[in-house]
Amino acid sequence: MTDQLRLKSFNLGKFVIEYLVFIAIVLLVIITAIVEPRFLSAENFTNLMRQFGPLSFVALGMTFIIVGGFIDLSVPGMISLVAIISLSLVDTIGEIPAILVGLALGAAMGCLNGTILIISGASTQAKALFITFGMSQVYGALALIHTDGTSMNRNLLEHEMPLTRVLGSGMLGPLSVSFVVFLFFLTVLYIFQTRTFLGRSINYTGGNIVAAELSGIPTKRIMILIYAICGFMAAVSAVVLFSRVSVTTPTVGMNYERDAIMAVVVGGTSLLGGRGNVLRTVLGVSLVVLMSNCMNLMGVQSHLQEVVRGAILVIAIWLDHRRQ
């Protein structure tokens, strides 16, 4: 009888640790709906889908980096540079080619990050942290140089941007267009991660890079691949971001790496690598976006919101440690 009780309480503890983010989301929704009933309105649902946009794409890309056992702090610089370069090309080559150039640039920057890590012999998260931070400074400074520090307003461009407008504020039935695009990428990346050898190899590499190498997995190629995915997703995020707001500053990507890492870790992907997937990240992004929305609706001041964000990150890392 005592053993049964112990077993039950153990399982409950494990359940809480495993599904805390889900429990937190449910609690947050219930509390906010009681305090502010308009939280459940259709208008807020649309807002949430739109606010979900830019962060969710970065977080999907960051998932592969963290599962692979690395980290990427170059995201803010990549987002800023892609947004600025794409917008500055619109009048010259048109909207769609400019967006395609931006996406290619993002993937290229990601490839370069991976290559630099390999050349530098960076095989740990700590080394990747410093190198990618440096790369973020490079990309960010280039965005500043390109615009002389000034912002770009897509409403002031000569060329019309119909696709961008649809992406930023269009609806497909009850869903925002950016959310539909997100679902597309989520499906593709989930299938890639769970149903392909290359996708599973990322988990093996993050779990134990030496063992992965010994078992014939091309870990260097995996490194380039995950950074390329992250760069590409950062570029998608940049496009969604400048679709959402008409004014783009050369520092528009600031803080996205922090929120993306938080969303990935909160979702349950291990910071040590090897464990986690994009579906978990969706939960993490949901919590980060919901939290911000709920606190705004409840009138919580921005200073306190930052405290809550920081506390959630600390709790997520503690939980990650407990899961190990």
Partner 1 sequence: MKKTLTTLLILIVSISLVACGGGSAPAPAAPAESAPEAAPAAPANDAPAAPAEGGQWKAGFITQAMSNESQAFSWREFQRLAPEYGFTMNMWSGETGPQDEVAGIEQAIAEGYDAIFVNPSSIESIIPALMQAKEAGLIVGMFSSELPEEHQNLRDFFCGSDDFQGGQQAGEFVVTHFPDGASFVEVGGQAGHDAQIKRHDGFRAGIAGSNIVELDSQNVPGPWPTNEAMAIMEDFLVRHGDAINIVFCHWDNGASGVIEAIENSGRKANADDGIFVIGVDGNRTGYAQVRAGTQALSVGQSFTNMAKQSLENAKTMLEGGTVPAVNFIPLDMVTLGSIDSFVEPDW
| Beta carbon of residue 206, minimum distance to partner 1 (angstroms, whole number) | 20
Residue 217 beta carbon to partner 1: minimum distance, rounded to whole angstroms: 23
Return the residue of 252, 263, 278, 316 that touches partner 1, per CB under 8 A.
Answer: 252
Closest CA to 315 of 29, 67, 307: 307
Please, are residues 305 and 292 in contact by the beta-carbon 8 Å criterion? Answer: yes
CB of 175 to partner 1, least distance (A): 15
- Paired strand residues for 172: 175
DSSP letter at 250 equals T
Q: Which is nearer to partner 1, 63 or 80 (CB)?
A: 80
Query: Which residues in the 186-245 window bind partner 1 by CB under 8 A?
Result: 241, 244-245
Residues found in the chain: 324
Q: For the CB of residue 230, give the shortest distance to partner 1 in the complex, in Å.
A: 16
Binding span for partner 1 by CB under 8 A among 58-66, 193-201, 277-285, 288-296: 288-296
Q: Which is nearer to partner 1, 224 or 278 (CB)?
A: 224
Q: How far is CA 196 from CA 193, 203, 215, 270, in A?
A: 6, 12, 17, 21
Coil/strand/helix, residue 211: helix
Which residue in the set 193, 203, 248, 270 belongs to the binding site for partner 1 (CB under 8 A)? 248
Q: Residue 269: which residues within 8 A CB-CB, separation 6 or more?
A: 63, 66, 67, 275, 276, 277, 280, 281, 284
CB of 19 to partner 1, least distance (A): 27
Q: Determine the Cα–Cα distance for residues 292 and 65; give it in Å rounded to an integer.
A: 25
For partner 1, how many residues bind (rule: CB under 8 A)?
A: 70
Find residue 175's DSSP bridge partners: 172
**111/272 with CB nearer partner 1:** 111
CB of 18 to partner 1, least distance (A): 30
| Nearest distance, CB of residue 142 and partner 1, angstroms | 5
Q: How many beta carbons lie within 10 A of that of residue 31, not counting itself?
A: 13
Q: Which is nearer to partner 1, 74 or 277 (CB)?
A: 74
Coil/strand/helix, residue 84: helix
**Which amino acid, residue 270?**
S
Contacts to partner 1 from residues 102-161, by CB under 8 A = 105, 109, 112, 115-116, 119-122, 127, 130-131, 133-135, 137-142, 144-146, 148-151, 153, 155-156
Quick one: the chain helix, strand, coil %, rounded to 5?
Answer: 80, 0, 20
- 43 touches partner 1 by CB under 8 A: yes
| Residues in contact with partner 1, shown as a per-residue x/- string from 45 to 74 under the rule CB under 8 A | --x--xx--x--------------------
Q: List the structure tokens of 21.
A: 């983010």
For 269, other C-beta atoms within 10 Å of its C-beta total 29
For 123, the token pair is 């095989």
Residues of this chain that interact with partner 1 (CB under 8 A) are 36, 38-39, 41, 43-44, 47, 50-51, 54, 81, 85, 88-89, 92, 105, 109, 112, 115-116, 119-122, 127, 130-131, 133-135, 137-142, 144-146, 148-151, 153, 155-156, 168-169, 241, 244-252, 254-255, 292-293, 296-297, 299, 301-303, 305-306
